[in-house]
Structure 1
Amino acid sequence: MHRPGGPCQTERVPLEFAPSARSTVGVEWEIMLADPKTGDLVGRAPELLGALEEQSAAERHTVTGELLTNTIEVTSGVGGTVAEALDDIAAAIATVRAATDPAGIELLSAGSHPFAQWYNQRVTDKTRYHKLIERTQWWGRNMMIWGIHVHVGVDDRDKVLPIIAALSNFLPHLQALAASSPYWAGERTGYASNRALVFQQLPTAGLPWSLHTWAEFESYLDDMVRTGVMQDASEVRWDIRPAPRWGTVEVRACDGMSTLSELASVAALVQSLVEHFSRELDEGRTLATMPPWFHRENKWRAARYGLDARVIVDAAGSQVPVREHLAAVVEDLRPVARDLGCAAELDGVLTTLQVGASYERQLAAADGADGDLHAVVHHLIREFRQGPETSVAPSPSAAP
């Protein structure tokens, strides 16, 4: 049978993985712009970004735009510690507030806005965003989602895919900790992270493919570019991906964190896990992995039940409440976290288990206001300024 295209293929160009200091950390945080009275989103980023980008040009942090004009993204420099990276983020937020407060704009962060509608939002006027919307249509226009990205430096590119495979076992833990999108366009979804399931509708998004070597990743990219799926590695939108330009593993699975302290705790957990796996590889040990069907189920459970999920934790199919397993993981990682200087930030994971994740606090805020989602937005605005403010008792038992 004739095969279109013939037998010849062009030689693949090797993909460089930039040198990066081991277990350094960088953070990106997507932030919503809102009207202080109504709580609705406002597409005013373009009027702010010129000055903000100029002001951050000489700083370690950056302030940039995103897909929608209702969003500003702040990015840290390369931090030797989580505290250093988060200092950058705090400085960036202060710079943004110096512009938004006089302009009558409030800031908040979560995986979704409780009641905003996609058809009222405007796409940022950049070619790559217009191309994305042209290709993805309704799903692309529905991307009213906000997240965080955590980068951790890897000192050997041959470690990258094994670390991603091992880190995938902990995606439900990270997703549950960060879950902050229980509402969508005015509806209570019944999910802790509706964002997780919306975002995976984009081409090349979702769980990482089961690749084992850098050569396999290069082959995957070659296939994607050759068939017109993407232009380069930056369009790989996996929940965890290699970031060759920076020499990092990048975790992208988390909803937007509602507070700076919670952002620090998730960054510390990611940094500690990556360093732990790197040490295991240095000792010649094989990292534990699970079948992809377990990862898929875990992702759904964490999206649905958040911190009340029971997650599959090994290839044998053992299941543990994610709250319980997170506490055990924090205990196991403490020596690594001390070495990295992020022990205090890692303990913030336990604080989230005690006070409740953002989705739990949002649900409590709505219940306390007879379901008024405007109260949820104002709750998020206050939290972004002040930190978590309510305690939510955990459910008596984990969900199936």
Structure 2
Amino acid sequence: MHIDFSPSPRTSLGVEWELELVDLDTRELTGASDALLAAISPEGDGEHPKAKHELLQSCVEVITGVCTTVAEARADLAGTVGELQGPAAERNVGLMCSGTHPMTDWSTQRVTDTERYHQLIERNQWLARQLQIFGVHVHCGVRAPEKAIPIVNALLGYLPHFLSLSASSPYWIGSDTGLASYRSKVFEALPTAGLPYQLGGWEEFEKYMDILIHSHAIESIREVWWDIRPHPNFGTVELRICDGLPSLDEISCVAALAQCLVERFDHQLDDGYTLPEPRPWLVRENKWRAARYGLDAEIVVDNTGRVQPVTEAITNLVEDLLPLARRLDCAAELELIPKLIERGASYQRQRACAAAHEGKLEPVVDLLIGEMRDGLNL
């Protein structure tokens, strides 16, 4: 099976941001996507170039065009969110983003009425019905198909960095799960989600996709929802590991880190280097540690079992990538990461808010709405 890959001329950038739609009276999720998308679509038919339906009617996905810099992607997202804010306010709907909603029961939510989503539910049953989860996906352009799989494999070594920074789903249906990122555990229950298989190259990727399709495991490669995956149509590597991020400040941090790493790996391949491939056991263990402990995790850094605080690993990586970030014009965003660590990831801020309000979660929803509206001012 041949899979066309549309190479990107540079390490371009695209971001997808899944927004929760919240009833401002109850603070619960509300199925307002049809009304909001109709209000902002040019023809009033719900078709908007940069805002889309998602599985649940309580979510709208905002997407950028192909961007060159992090600042351009941020401005693109902000423009579309700005279009949504007025119609949302008119309908008493708040906009926010977190890996999971702190309180809402997934069984109360309506599925968007499309054939694709109905087929997803039919195939996966409750595993799909429970996908009341929200994420941020970052696409980074890759200049040749033969580079995509080595870059995916190399990025697995940095999976805990992205997950711990973005972890924002400590709560599930009103209870504290004890995890920093419960979303990552919910999503990997699907048979084609979670950690990618570490394949040997593009031809092996094509063969594996061919087997999945012919064995009726999937109907198209769009149904392979790995934490990090190649996206042939866009000519990118897509990082899907991140929990939903409440603010554009945090999205900028994550996008800058992703763009710098992919740029580095792309040029190392040009220079004849063989990119590192962490052992599968190490990748799995580090994902669990990041999901469980977030920024308090100690991650395994080599095959001897040596560990390092993930905050130290992230801080060292930022310093190492700064010269490259200056060339990509994202140094300012990358340098915000230590400030974000000091401020605390979203799961930490949510728990602190709940503790300050005797465990009540409505104030946590208000916090998340406010962070999307006002930013973190890092």
Taking structure 2 as the reference length, what is the TM-score of the superposition?
0.97
- For residues 56 and 166 of structure 1, the distance between their equivalents in structure 2, rounded to whole angstroms, comes to 44
- For residues 36 and 255 of structure 1, the distance between their equivalents in structure 2, rounded to whole angstroms, comes to 23
Q: Are the counterparts in 2 of residues 33 and 107 from structure 1 also a CA contact under 8 Å?
A: yes
Offset from partner CA, 1:109-166 (integer Å, 9 cap, x none): 0000001001110000001101111111111111110001000000011111110010
Report 1:1-400 matches (<5 A).
Answer: 12=1, 14-54=2-42, 62-388=50-376
> Bigger radius of gyration, 1 or 2?
1
Give, as a single letter, the amino acid of the residue that structure 2 aligns with 1:294. L
Structure 1 unmatched runs, 5+: 1-11, 392-400
Give, as a single letter, the amino acid of the residue that structure 1 aligns with 2:25. K
Structure 2 unmatched runs, 5+: none
- The alpha carbon displacement at 1:387 in A equals 1.7
- For residues 103 and 60 of structure 1, the distance between their equivalents in structure 2, rounded to whole angstroms, comes to 19
- For residues 294 and 159 of structure 1, the distance between their equivalents in structure 2, rounded to whole angstroms, comes to 23
Q: Are the counterparts in 1 of residues 179 and 293 from structure 2 also a CA contact under 8 Å?
A: yes
- The alpha carbon displacement at 1:317 in A equals 3.2
SS of the residue 1:223 aligns to: helix
Give, as a single letter, the amino acid of the residue that structure 2 aligns with 1:328. N
Offset from partner CA, 1:254-306 (integer Å, 9 cap, x none): 00001111001100000000001111111111111211011111111000000
SS of the residue 1:280 aligns to: helix
- The alpha carbon displacement at 1:55 in A equals 7.1
| Percent identity over paired residues | 48
- The alpha carbon displacement at 1:314 in A equals 3.0
- The alpha carbon displacement at 1:232 in A equals 1.4
- The alpha carbon displacement at 1:321 in A equals 0.4
Taking structure 1 as the reference length, what is the TM-score of the superposition?
0.92
- For residues 105 and 247 of structure 1, the distance between their equivalents in structure 2, rounded to whole angstroms, comes to 36
- For residues 249 and 292 of structure 2, the distance between their equivalents in structure 1, rounded to whole angstroms, comes to 24
Give, as a single letter, the amino acid of the residue that structure 2 aligns with 1:306. G
Query: What is aligned with 1:8?
Result: none
Give, as a single letter, the amino acid of the residue that structure 1 aligns with 2:312. E
Give, as a single letter, the amino acid of the residue that structure 2 aligns with 1:117. D
- The alpha carbon displacement at 1:44 in A equals 1.1
Count of matched residue pairs: 377
- For residues 339 and 32 of structure 1, the distance between their equivalents in structure 2, rounded to whole angstroms, comes to 35
- The alpha carbon displacement at 1:38 in A equals 1.5
Q: Are the counterparts in 2 of residues 60 and 77 from structure 1 also a CA contact under 8 Å?
A: no
Q: Are the counterparts in 2 of residues 108 and 380 from structure 1 also a CA contact under 8 Å?
A: yes
Change (3 A) 1:103 1:60: closer
- For residues 16 and 94 of structure 2, the distance between their equivalents in structure 1, rounded to whole angstroms, comes to 19
